[in-house]
């Protein structure tokens, strides 16, 4: 079964501090992992995916298959990073494009 766990419902940091949003997954094959973000009064949108191995808005995420984790990190948080963040997994079996989402972490960056 596919499962995504985001252990923190709420995360609060100060501007300029490092931030890490945790994501652990359960999947027996080779997954594709994503981070989606929803800013206040905006639509849910893709932030980054592990296969791209790129930094978006200063955020990076590394897939650790040994720890089955895909934590999202940013060295210096900004107030505009305040949003709801969802980790998502897609399994490759059967070519399914189904996404399984975690329950999300609400990040608040305080001034």
Partner 1 sequence: DAGVIQSPRHEVTEMGQEVTLRCKPISGHNSLFWYRQTMMRGLELLIYFNNNVPIDDSGMPEDRFSAKMPNASFSTLKIQPSEPRDSAVYFCASSFFAGPPRDEQFFGPGTRLTVL
24, 60, 82, 90: residue in contact with partner 1 (rule CB under 8 A): 90
49, 74, 77, 107: residue in contact with partner 1 (rule CB under 8 A): 49
12, 64, 92, 110: residue in contact with partner 1 (rule CB under 8 A): 92
Tokens found for residue 39: 């800013």
Of the candidates 48, 30, 24, the one whose C-alpha atom is nearest the C-alpha of residue 92 is 30
Give the residue with the Cβ less far from partner 1, 59 or 77: 59
Contacts (Cβ under 8 Å, ≥6 apart) of 108 = 10, 11, 12, 13, 82
26 is a site residue for partner 1 (CB under 8 A): no
């Amino acid at each position: 079964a596919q499962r995504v766990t985001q252990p923190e419902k709420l995360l609060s940091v100060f501007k300029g501090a490092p931030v890490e949003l945790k994501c652990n997954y359960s999947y027996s094959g080779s997954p594709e992992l994503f981070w989606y973000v929803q800013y206040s009064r905006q639509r849910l949108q893709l932030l980054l995916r592990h296969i791209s191995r790129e930094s978006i808005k200063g955020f990076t995420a590394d897939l650790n298959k040994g720890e089955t984790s895909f934590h999202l990190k940013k060295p210096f948080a900004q107030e505009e990073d305040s949003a709801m963040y969802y980790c998502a997994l897609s399994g490759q079996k059967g070519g399914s494009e189904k996404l399984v989402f975690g329950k999300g972490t609400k990040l608040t960056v305080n001034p």
